[in-house]
Structure 1
Amino acid sequence: MVQLLAVSGSIRAASSNSALLRAAEALSPDGVSIKHYLAVGQLPHFDPDLADEPPKIVAELRALIGKADGILISCPEYARGIPGSFKNALDWLVASHEFPGKPVALFNASPRASHAQEALRLVLNTMSAVVVEPASITVNLLAKGMDEAGIAASPEISKQIVSALAAFKIHIEVMQE
């Protein structure tokens, strides 16, 4: 079983990024399990003095990252960049041994969020993540007001999600051989 951790870069209750990740869970192929990390907004401000002995909530995040075979990220764009709360979560992972080399699939809920995607790729590459391009997709949920059921029911979007998850699963299985 391939274990994925889904992390939304948005802390909004009605986030299209979070809905996209929940739709991915609903559409996940056999042999893939998706767990959602929901505490991005609860993490304390990053403090490098605590990197070696982080607060409990940070240690829990690192443990979840360590157990996951891959990470699904869907991140909005705020002011042409990564939202501060999500960047803070990534900063807590910089000094961790769990994150480097971890396969990552980027799900983008808006074609207009290109600056955040570019910044996110730069940060993830700096952190030694392995961005799996065939598993990374951009869908157009902008102003559509779709929840995860609507996303999963959309023939066009669901096809993209299923294809991306299949590519991610194959990449992870090959890495594990």
Structure 2
Amino acid sequence: MYAVNRLRDPKFHGFRIQVLPHPLDQVAHAAVTEYTDADPSTRRAILDALTPRAAGVLSVYGERAAALAVRGCDTELLRAAGIAVGMADARLEDYRDNLIVLAALTHSAGLLQTTQEQLFDQIEAMVPPRVLARFRRYTADGPLTLRSMGLRACGDGPTFRYR
């Protein structure tokens, strides 16, 4: 059984609005870590095991991890957020739901003194090529803004989050 199977748990209902950090963040992070540590064929099997519900959890985790990365000035956590969003993309009921999260990733990258292109380059080996191509296509004319996606950044330091 893969760690992504744990993301189907009903405990994840309302995950987006849970306090940051939350123990469920670690469950989602473990699924991303298992994926990144796996060989290419196991990564494919993990992606095949993803359900739309689990993909939705990974997408939400991507947004949450982007905020936590800013809180901790942690570019590795931002990279994990990008990988989570990339894993989720093909299994979401509507892949455009990830556009909101891409805006958060882009914003967090800027706050961490990097760019969305540098982030995409860092996750390239871990994200299916067609997904990364879609991310690059959506951001080709410039980064997605929080405002354009109906998000806003709230707080700073240990209270930073997206709403």
Give the TM-score band, short-chain normalised: 0.3 to 0.5
Q: Which of the two has greater helix per residue?
A: 2
TM-score if structure 2 supplies the norm length?
Answer: 0.41
Q: Which has the larger radius of gyration?
A: 1
Q: Which of the two has greater strand per residue?
A: 1
Larger RCO, structures 1/2 (Cα 8 Å, 6+ apart): 1
